[in-house]
Structure 1
Amino acid sequence: MEKTIRIGTRDSELALWQANKVKEGLEQLDCRTEIVPVKSDGDIILDKPLYELGITGIFTKTLDIAMIQGRIDVAVHSMKDVPTALPKGIVQAAVLPRADAADVLVHKGDLSFLAKTGTIATGSLRRKAQWLHRYPEHFVENLRGNVNTRMRKLQDSEWQGAIFAAAGLERISPFTGTEINPDHCTALDWMIPAPAQGAMVAVALENDAYSKECLSKLNHRETEVCTHIERQFLRVLEGGCTAPIGAKAEIKDNQIAFTGVLLSPDGKKRHIIHREVTPDDYLRFGEACALEILESGGKETMNLIRLHETKGPDSKVSS
């Protein structure tokens, strides 16, 4: 008898939307499913940026444990939150079609601050570093919580704006009724997104043949290839620490165009790469791009970042 696939997810509104998207896809394949919400430390600890918590995969760790303990069969994540090395016994089973991967500045209708001193907010070290690289006279405040919480904090603050993922805004608005004035949203086309931003991934136990087979039918090959490159770039650069790294791969005219970036936490140092490859040669492409970054000065920047982490988040990074 076919089993009911228990889909584990964080209980935030966005995570539940994502889990329900997978649930709908599986049920269209006549697979029985149920949603099992699980709260993670990343949802509970909201007074510190993620990079200060010192934990990789903070949003996925609780679900990994629930899966290994047999409480759920499948976990659905924003792929950018998933560590590049999955726990032993857990495998990537499906990557869904990617939504808009861009970052968006939500502001209060006046962008004149961009030409002078201003303050924006984000909990992402990658966004902070890229913003400070472009606007070195600005200040960046920490901002955590779900989309509604962050929107409310922005409106109640004296900040000029806050940075959000376009995919998150698109997914959450119809689900919660959140209305965002499009005139107060500016796409940051110069900001390189997080590796796998905008993509969702479903993971399952390696020995769970039924769940893996069902999920494999939801897999989107183009998104799988592009996120593989981006996450490989991240893995080779990262070396176990939290670093400001962006990566974006796109398939156009039978070519994969890739852009990757590594920055110092203060944004003063930036290493960027643009390369193309044919789809047949994608397997080690992310690694090759990361090694090129490291060999052209990125290794020294990574050493600075590790020193920054060792001394603590309030230490200064010399550039």
Structure 2
Amino acid sequence: MSKIIRIGTRDSELALWQATTVQQKLEELGYDTSLVPIKSTGDEILDKPLYELGITGIFTKTLDIALLKGQIDIAVHSMKDVPTQLPKGIVQVAVLKRAITHDILVHKGLNFLESDAPATIATGSLRRKAQWLNKYPHHTVVDLRGNVNTRLLKLIENDWNGAIFAQAGLERIKLLPKDALQLDWMIPAPAQGAMVVVAKEEDTFSREALTKLNHKESEVATTIEREFLRTLEGGCTAPIGALAQIKEQTVHFEGVLFSLDGKQKITVNKSVPLNQANGLGEQCAKEVLQQGGDKLMQEIRNENSALH
């Protein structure tokens, strides 16, 4: 029996690009599909930083509800937006081949990086803010929200020196400026650059279709990173970076936890054979917690609850 697989997506340009990519791959395999764009709460509330909203999965919740109500069959997400704990009844089925993981700085000239003069950088991410302040403590970081197009526009309209974006997002919708500076020192968000597709656990038809899109190496790497995040209890409320890379059957992992002001930093680096990588994310997170990360996470939780 054949059915039309209804693909749920946010209605931003980047989200639609991601959903269309999945649609094309499914149709190449002979499946019938339709796109169902849905506006998410995260796209609608633009006047508050994400961490102040206190909701994990603010960009995914609307699609989760549509999925559970049977309005769509699958949902496509930027994996870094997805909570590490999926709602009951929803399962991860496919991680597509991951794009580049780097953050980049879109700027109006880079002379300010060589100077001790004040400068202003924009980002809505606690992780990016903490890492920037760790490297440039004399700079000011202001909040920046909205989809990629909105954020680029705000950078033009304001007198900021630059704004930080994920390189993959700008590349996907062909908005990456030629002179953008790759921040190769910045540890990305867990699962940055990866797209994930979820379905209802009971929907064997859609799940069977999606398993054909899964890229094993990307799935392994993002699982390790998200395990690190989950064990630290980060969600989108703490400055946590993680990157697992697989080279010649070895997994190289780097994880980091910062204080909100970027002054404190706890890192972990580990390399293990690929066949021994099970539980690596959790193991590395426990090391961070033992190095003072538990105390730091408590301080971050206290600061966050004071915000709400």
Q: TM-score range by the shorter chain?
A: over 0.9
Deviation at 1:114, TM superposition (A): 4.6
| Equivalent in the alignment of 1:242 | 237
1:41 aligns with 2:41: yes
Are residues 1:65 and 2:53 paired? no
Q: Spell out, residue by residue over 1:170-220, the C-alpha distance to the aligned partner (whole angstroms, 9 max, x if none).
A: 0111xxxx4x4312x100000000000000000000010010000000000
Q: Give 1:192's aligned residue.
A: 187
Partner of 1:137: 138
**Cα root mean square deviation, aligned:** 1.2
Other structure's SS at 1:182 match: coil
CA apart distance, 1:147: 1.7
Q: Report the Cα offset of residue 109 of structure 1.
A: 2.2
The residue correspondences of 1:1-150 to structure 2 (distance < 5 A) are 1-116=1-116, 117-150=118-151
Q: Give the whole-Å Cα distance in 1 for the aligned partners of 2:164 and 2:192.
A: 14
Normalised to the residue count of structure 2, the TM-score between the two structures is 0.97
Report if aligned partners of 1:262, 1:272 keep a CA contact under 8 Å in 2. Answer: yes
Question: AA paired with 1:301?
Answer: L
SS at the partner of 2:173? helix
Q: 2:288 aligns with which of 287, 293, 303?
A: 293
Consecutive unaligned residues in structure 2, runs of 5 or more: none
Deviation digits for residues 47-89 of structure 1 (CA, Å, limit 9, x no counterpart) = 1111111100000000000000000000000000000000011
Gaps of 5+ in 1: 314-319
Does the 8 Å CA contact 2:98/2:194 hold for their aligned counterparts? yes
Q: Give the 3-state SS of the residue equivalent to 1:260 in structure 2.
A: strand
Match runs of 1:141-290 below 5 Å:
141-173=142-174, 178=175, 180-183=176-179, 185-238=180-233, 242-290=237-285
Alignment partner of 1:196: what SS? coil
Task: Determine helix, strand or coil for the equivalent of 1:140.
Answer: strand
**Identity of counterpart residues, as a percentage?**
62
Shift of 1:310: 1.6
Q: What CA deviation, in whole Å up to 9, does each residue of 1:271-314 have, x standing for no partner? A: 0111011111122000000000000111110010011012117x
Q: Is 1:114–1:135's contact at 8 Å kept on the other side of the alignment?
A: no
Contact 1:113 1:160 in 2 (8 A): no
Query: Amino acid of the residue matched to residue 135 of structure 2?
Result: R
**Is the 2:83–2:235 Cα contact (8 Å) retained in structure 1?**
no
Contact kept? 1:74, 1:203, Cα under 8 Å: yes
* Matched pairs, number: 307
User: Aligned in 2, Cα 1:149/1:137: closer, same or farther, shift over 3 Å?
Assistant: same
Shift in Å, 1:155: 1.2
- Given that 2:259 and 2:300 are in contact with CA atoms closer than 8 Å, whether structure 1 keeps it comes out as yes
Q: Deviations over 1:205-242 (max 9, x none)?
A: 00100100000000000000000000000000016671
Q: TM-score, normalised by structure 1?
A: 0.94
CA contact (8 A) 1:248 1:259 kept: yes
Distance 2:19 2:137 in 1: 39
> Quick one: distance in 2 between partners of 1:55 and 1:239?
12
